[in-house]
Structure 1
Amino acid sequence: MEAYTVKIKRMIAILFAVSLVTTGAAGCSAKKDGDGKKEAMGRYVEKQVELPLKEDEEAVALTEDSGNGAVLYSRNMEDGTYKAYRYDGGKFEEEDASWLNSAIKSGGTLSKVVKGDDGSLYALYGDENAMTHIIRKDGSSSQEIGIPDLAVKDSNGIYPLISGMRVDKEGNIFLAVPMNGEVVMYDKGTGGKIRSFQGNQFSGLMAMPIDVRDNRILLAGPDGSGLVCYDTGSGEVAEEIKYADMAEGGILRLGDSDDCILADSKGLHHLTMGGSMAEDLVDSSTSAFGIPQTNIMDLAQMGKGDYTVLLSVQETSGRSTHEMYRYVYDKETKAEPSHTLRVYGLEESAAVRQAIVKYQQKHPDVGIEYKTGNAGEGTGTKADSIRALNTELLSGSGADVIMLDGLPADSYIEKGILADISGVLKEAGKESDMRDNIIKPYKKDGKIYQIPTRYGIPLLIGASSTTEAFKSADALVDYMKDHAWDDVMNQVDKESLMKLLLNMYYEDIIDKNKQIDTKLLARLMETVGKAEDNGDGSVTSSSVWSSDEGQTESDWDVGKFGSPDKKDTLSSKEMKGIQGMMLPYHYLRKEGASPSDVNGIFVPHDIAGINKASKNTDLAEDFVKMLLSEEVQSIDVENGFPVNEQAMEAWIQSVEETPDEEGGGLSITVGEEVITFPHQSEVKSLAEIGKKLTVPVQKDDIIGEMILDGAKTYFDGSRSAEEAAEDIAEKADTYLAE
């Protein structure tokens, strides 16, 4: 598939908490409770700061001002002018920003404002040609700091990308170049390069964490295992901080002594030079930092134990708004919540993370432990994680809320592990309508033990005549007797095809009694075995984002679409959100084609159940209602469409009928083509397809892995298809009997 570049007009984030108490470990004291027991007191409290911006303004930068609060800078989206607002911790007051407006002309974009160690204000902005400029405030006007390197294009005709700037006490400029991980020090007078400091290479979309103070520069180390502090005079390493848990990107602030503050997607941390441990002042699991797709723009330290953070927040429409949060240490707040709710999922979920923050906003006295069975977090496999969970549940313990994706939910229901949550659905339905076609398949004898809170829509994209071959497993087997896979789906391999067919025909391969149809499975393996693996593996339709934290690739995403020499071929794609519609619907629009659903199938996501043995049933029910709420479901985190009808309508209304790449949303470039957000009518049409889907494909991940592993023994010639199918069935029977 052609390489494509991501062109982001605004950075990524998600709407989240308004006033949230977060965990923090600094300086705990003790207070006696009603029983005379001592309770640990003191933690950081997170509160949203209401921004002073008008409807046509957007926040662009935040800078601290040496004990005089912080200054927020905004841009008027209509005329491109800038304003400044001083924030003292309580209110905003507008200040003169003419020094910016006199320098940044039409088409220019401000990216950073910093208070240098020399006491002056500096700004970093790009002009209409994407060339970076640096200016220093001089009264009501400004002076440009000439740096010749910024005017030199690379071999592709692109000016240097600069993601950060700091200024030392002498006025020398430090610029972060994320593409090669360097921070370059430039002379304040000549603009010539003095020396460079090697840090970690980050994506061009990420801000490199750097700070300069006195004669020190601190940045992420080259190996990504922590922070490194250089002496700016000699260029030698002065200190290091080993910190293996670092997230990519973030904001750094050097302290008065040998310490620093790091704000990243994992929270707000205090670290000490030469150390290897971080003190988590604010943890991402209970704060705005942990919301998926959040971008930290700036951090201002208002005083000791007082931090203000500016975040960009991406709406479902793809456009960005901005949020500001203040973190203040409160010694009168309990260090630990009064109650604990335990949530378990086999894999990390962005939607669950979002619901946790929203829930704790409303229940600050409830802490949530969110654990996953992801391989890599421990030493075991997915099967080990499931067995460990099963042991807990069968013994009457385990998590209060269980996200059942990939788990043997039917077995849990048969063994009486899951509680009837039809009452939860009824209560949630009083506030918003739920998609009955998605919920109805989960009703058993008038009861509901599991609820999919989101769902994916698998589509076949391409030649409509070929889609008929996928109507059933038998039809496909017959069709492929006279056709080659290369003429049906372009650039696929055996493994990806086997995953796709397992999704499509899971209910045919494994009946309601969990018995495997070995004859059908063998025939499907033989059909898949006709595919010729290409050297690069399967080429699937790609996500808009280069990295989606908390999201997994879909096994439905198989085959290349948009190939000019293979117009009659199909590709398969699971639609899980509006962003993921961009590339497929661009192709459909271009070809004048319509997508087809896959035999009425939908993919349930974030399937919630409650442990019948839970001692926190009320809290668990409230959490499931939060997962179903319009408040949570109205945000697109690319993990499925909402089952909440009001939320789905909000998604539709958030998208323009004819999105414009200049309109502030997202766009990607494939070759010469610019691909924008899908049209509102397309989102509405896909929602209508979603209303007709009635067949959930909810796989037991362990059985799925057994089938895929067994199929490989046929593909590599170790066994016949029949032998492989029989072996798979035997292993599945043993697993189900455990």
Structure 2
Amino acid sequence: MKKFEWLMLSFLSIILIFGTGCSSKKEDKIDKKNDEKTEKVSVFKESEIELPKDAGHVLDILPNNNGQLMIVMKTKDEKTIKTMTSENNGKSWEDQVDIGTQLTGTQKEYADVRLAEDGRGLIRTVIADGPDESNLRQEIFELTKDKKIEKLSNEINTMITEQKIQTLFWVDEKQAVGLGEKGSFLFDMTSGNAQQILSEKELVLSFEQYKNNLYFLTLNGFKKINLENAKVESLSKAFTEANKIVLKEKNIENIVFAFDGKDDQSLLLSLTDDIVKVSDKGQQKFMEKRATQLSNPKNKLLNVIPGGKKNILAFLETPDGNKLFNYNPEGQKEVKNTEANTLKIYALTENELRQNEAVRVASNDYENKHTDIKVSLEIGVEDGVTFNDALKKLNTQLASGDGPDILLLDGVRAQNYIDQNLLLDLAEIIKEQQSDKIFTNVLSAYKQGDKYYGLPMTFAGMSAYGDSDLAKHTNSLKELTDYLVKLSQKSKTPVFENYNFDNMMLVFYRIYYSNVKQEWTKQDVTDFYTSIKRLYDLVYMKNIKEWDLSESTTLVVGRGVLYNVALGEVQTAFDYVDNYFVIEETEISKKIDKSFSESILKDNKMQYYIPQNILAISSKSDKQDQAYEFLKNALSEDVQSQLSISGIPVSKQSFKQMIKEQSFPEVKKIQLDSGKKKEVQFEGISETTINQWTEKFEGLNKPSSFDDTIFSILMENIDEVVSGKMSPKSASKKAYRKIELYMAE
């Protein structure tokens, strides 16, 4: 059966979310010894299948009708695109068709090729017309059974372009299905007729075909399409059961499915922790992912291909490129699932993108080194549970000794737990770290006296970008606001990007109002609202008035607004420094504009930073030794070297290596939303520059300890304040009452 994974480019750059394993509720301590459950689990041997030596990005991979493994790929040098086959599971590969020799320019650069089991394929290319290459149109070619490449009719090419199709594949001799921005369509490739089968609101994640039925997995669950009449039909009992499973998953975007057998009455579902087999009789565990490449949160599963001997092939996207693994069954083993062999980690919220990626990397590495221990990550705010209810439940569990072993302090007011002696002192771990290897200044984020109560795995800086005088006016939010008002009066150039206002507002809150502050005053709240209202009025906001600032994300992630400053679109920008992309953008901006200035935000004495993925150990845990080992391992190069997108790793070596491993283009092409373009010669980031950034991070000395609850309270009235419906003073009265109540609790 053919299996595809379809992800839109914008979806790829934004959604890289990995699922979590939720720990079950702890039973009464008296019954713990009787809480042992033994289950039989199939054991699989993992082995990597070698892809062709010159394989770069793999566009499609599947078995053909002759039992061969078929692949279509771009070569590493990106000079061509070709198809190859293997009769012996990758031990040797044979060239079939060199597609790239018949494509030129943007055709080759943007080509997408999808194969059918009979060896045919559809090649979707993009042509850029006009002197500025702004007019884009698609050209579609057919790869025939006799290995020829033929351009399809103008009518079909026009139709595909009009529907903005991004993935196109054969479903029979004459029909193809296209997935695009306007929805999913069934195309008659002889007449050019198109029938819409799914709306643009039903984003397709993956799909499988069985005879005349096409099964889609969308964000809304499974859909079955009859290809003879292009109609949605009722799901079978097996798919109805599978639908119940996928809709309960927190991150449906990561689910991959494939048929298990010769019909569509049984399927495999790749879920967070396991691959399960689903039929009309229900579901059963097929394979555990733990201690395999499938459990590594750095890898994304793109395709599952059932083999002929109860084995499966798994096609992955990894930091080192595409990889293919074979899993052969080797019998079964009995596994005991008990409280005693489960190390429980708790995070209050699951932020977007992959905020807890670092914790999952650490969990995966720990499980691989301790095969008798299972690490579970529980998210408090989910499945309809409110923030306040989750927090109250956590507080009760910690106080009673029935809580997690390890607690993430991100978004939590840690001082409450410190005052109640609910967190262990981590000085033994932190003091043994060497300053030449670790940003030990960052590890001091939760230091009180001689004790340390939290261990950040990653961190982020917060920087101001603009003229050289900007950094001289950051001692308070009022002072900074006054300076930005003056800039707005001196020039017609916008002071900052309006679409980045929510991010900027959060940066200012983190700097000036969340630095482990124990007492809030009504004046603090009034000052915050007053400054935010003044800033909101500085730029043209009409085109984003529909935004609800009250729903602003608390996720720390650099937005990439530096080029707007360097190219003169705006005067200033305020952003996080939390990954190598921001550092690259900063260095390129300095090449564009010699007067471009970047400075870590600070007041008269302190330079601010955000500790992230902060691990703490419950003093009531009965697995403190295991928890200590987990935290120590979290600082190891084995873990730190794998971190990339959930902050700057606290390991200096891993940070430097993260920059060095990036491949930077010799010529950086920049294009802003306004249409302004710039090409910059860029040879990469030098050793000297990397050391300068290291020294800059070594100077960070003021942690911003974010409290999700207080920020949420402030945001409840923010839309009324900036729109003028409520005065800052009135809003502060309402907010301050809630803050007082929260602090008292």
Shorter-chain TM-score bucket reads 0.7 to 0.9
Match of 1:341 among 337, 343, 357: 343
Q: Which runs of 5+ in 2 are unaligned?
A: 1-7, 23-33, 128-137, 351-355, 548-552
Q: CA deviation at 1:238?
A: 4.0
Q: CA deviation at 1:649?
A: 1.4
Residue number in structure 2 paired with 1:384: 389
1:645 aligns with 2:640: no
Q: Which runs of 5+ in 1 are unaligned?
A: 1-5, 17-21, 24-34, 541-550
Residue number in structure 1 paired with 2:416: 411
Q: Is the Cα–Cα contact under 8 Å of residues 504 and 574 in structure 2 kept in the other structure?
A: no
- Structure 1 distance, partners of 2:563, 2:48, is 45
Instruction: State how 1:571-582 maps to structure 2 within 5 Å.
Output: 571-581=573-583
Residue number in structure 2 paired with 1:132: 140
Q: CA deviation at 1:345?
A: 0.9
1:458 aligns with 2:465: no
- Structure 2 distance, partners of 1:10, 1:565, is 27
Residue number in structure 2 paired with 1:229: 224
Q: Structure 1 residues 94 and 125 mapped into 2: Cα distance closer, same or farther (>3 Å)?
A: farther
Q: Partner letter of residue 438 of structure 1? A: V
- Structure 2 distance, partners of 1:389, 1:707, is 23
Residue number in structure 2 paired with 1:92: 90
TM-score using structure 1 length: 0.77
Report the 3-state secondary structure (helix = DSSP H, G, I; strand = E; otherwise coil) of the residue aligned with 2:597.
Answer: coil
Q: CA deviation at 1:68?
A: 3.8
Residue number in structure 2 paired with 1:49: 48
- Structure 2 distance, partners of 1:461, 1:98, is 52
Larger deviation: 457-466 or 669-678? Answer: 669-678
Deviations 1:437-473, CA, capped at 9 Å, x for gaps: 2113433333322011111111111123233222234
Report the 3-state secondary structure (helix = DSSP H, G, I; strand = E; otherwise coil) of the residue aligned with 1:364.
Answer: coil
Instruction: State how 1:198-217 maps to structure 2 within 5 Å.
Output: 198-199=197-198, 201=200, 209-217=206-214
Deviations 1:238-281, CA, capped at 9 Å, x for gaps: 432452357348655445234353666756454458x9x76664
Deviations 1:387-431, CA, capped at 9 Å, x for gaps: 21111111112111111101111221221111122333466769x
Q: Structure 1 residues 680 and 14 mapped into 2: Cα distance closer, same or farther (>3 Å)?
A: farther
Deviations 1:599-649, CA, capped at 9 Å, x for gaps: 011111101111122222233223323432323322454221010111011
- Structure 2 distance, partners of 1:426, 1:467, is 33
Q: Is the Cα–Cα contact under 8 Å of residues 455 and 604 in structure 1 kept in the other structure?
A: yes
Instruction: State how 1:577-656 maps to structure 2 within 5 Å.
Output: 577-581=579-583, 586-592=588-594, 593-599=596-602, 600-656=607-663
Q: Structure 1 residues 106 and 233 mapped into 2: Cα distance closer, same or farther (>3 Å)?
A: same
Q: Structure 1 residues 390 and 201 mapped into 2: Cα distance closer, same or farther (>3 Å)?
A: same
Q: Partner letter of residue 42 of structure 2? A: R
- Structure 1 distance, partners of 2:144, 2:87, is 21
Instruction: State how 1:328-727 maps to structure 2 within 5 Å.
Output: 328-334=328-334, 339-348=341-350, 349-374=356-381, 377-425=382-430, 433-473=437-477, 475-476=479-480, 479=483, 488-491=495-498, 499-506=506-513, 511=517, 514-532=518-536, 534-537=541-544, 553-554=555-556, 562=564, 569-581=571-583, 586-592=588-594, 593-599=596-602, 600-656=607-663, 659-660=666-667, 671-673=675-677, 679-681=684-686, 685-709=692-716, 721=728, 725=732
Residue number in structure 1 paired with 2:186: 184
The count of aligned residue pairs is 672
Q: Is the Cα–Cα contact under 8 Å of residues 123 and 135 in structure 1 kept in the other structure?
A: yes
Q: Is the Cα–Cα contact under 8 Å of residues 229 and 237 in structure 1 kept in the other structure?
A: yes
Instruction: State how 1:216-255 maps to structure 2 within 5 Å.
Output: 216-220=213-217, 224-240=219-235, 241-242=239-240, 243=243, 244-245=247-248, 247-248=252-253, 252-254=257-259, 255=261
- Structure 1 distance, partners of 2:672, 2:314, is 29
Q: Partner letter of residue 216 of structure 1? A: N
Q: Is the Cα–Cα contact under 8 Å of residues 86 and 92 in structure 1 kept in the other structure?
A: yes
Q: Partner letter of residue 80 of structure 1? A: T
Q: Partner letter of residue 174 of structure 1? A: A
Q: Structure 1 residues 611 and 70 mapped into 2: Cα distance closer, same or farther (>3 Å)?
A: farther
- Structure 1 distance, partners of 2:476, 2:65, is 69
Q: Partner letter of residue 372 of structure 1? A: I
- Structure 2 distance, partners of 1:207, 1:294, is 20
Deviations 1:166-215, CA, capped at 9 Å, x for gaps: 444xx34433323233242546xxx3347646136489xx9752332323
Residue number in structure 1 paired with 2:130: none
Q: Partner letter of residue 461 of structure 1? A: Y
Residue number in structure 2 paired with 1:19: none
Residue number in structure 2 paired with 1:548: none
Residue identity (%): 17
Instruction: State how 1:101-116 maps to structure 2 within 5 Å.
Output: 108=108, 111-112=112-113, 114-116=115-117
Q: Is the Cα–Cα contact under 8 Å of residues 67 and 303 in structure 1 kept in the other structure?
A: no
Q: CA deviation at 1:675?
A: 7.9
TM-score using structure 2 length: 0.76
- Structure 1 distance, partners of 2:683, 2:201, is 29
- Structure 2 distance, partners of 1:522, 1:583, is 35
Q: Partner letter of residue 144 of structure 2? A: R
1:732 aligns with 2:732: no
Q: Partner letter of residue 631 of structure 2? A: V
Q: CA deviation at 1:476?
A: 3.6
1:325 aligns with 2:332: no
Q: CA deviation at 1:123?
A: 3.3
- Structure 1 distance, partners of 2:722, 2:14, is 42
- Structure 1 distance, partners of 2:640, 2:725, is 47
Deviations 1:73-116, CA, capped at 9 Å, x for gaps: 5553235364736365xx63324223346975566477546453
Q: CA deviation at 1:695?
A: 0.9
Q: Structure 1 residues 408 and 10 mapped into 2: Cα distance closer, same or farther (>3 Å)?
A: closer
Q: Partner letter of residue 333 of structure 1? A: K
- Structure 2 distance, partners of 1:144, 1:252, is 31
Q: Is the Cα–Cα contact under 8 Å of residues 497 and 558 in structure 1 kept in the other structure?
A: no
Q: Which has the higher helix share?
A: 2
Residue number in structure 1 paired with 2:307: 302
Report the 3-state secondary structure (helix = DSSP H, G, I; strand = E; otherwise coil) of the residue aligned with 1:595.
Answer: strand
Q: Structure 1 residues 8 and 555 mapped into 2: Cα distance closer, same or farther (>3 Å)?
A: closer
Match of 1:123 among 121, 124, 128: 121
Match of 1:163 among 157, 162, 167: 167
Residue number in structure 1 paired with 2:263: 257
Report the 3-state secondary structure (helix = DSSP H, G, I; strand = E; otherwise coil) of the residue aligned with 2:462.
Answer: strand
Residue number in structure 2 paired with 1:311: 316
Q: Structure 1 residues 86 and 384 mapped into 2: Cα distance closer, same or farther (>3 Å)?
A: same
- Structure 2 distance, partners of 1:162, 1:425, is 50
Match of 1:175 among 174, 177, 184: 177
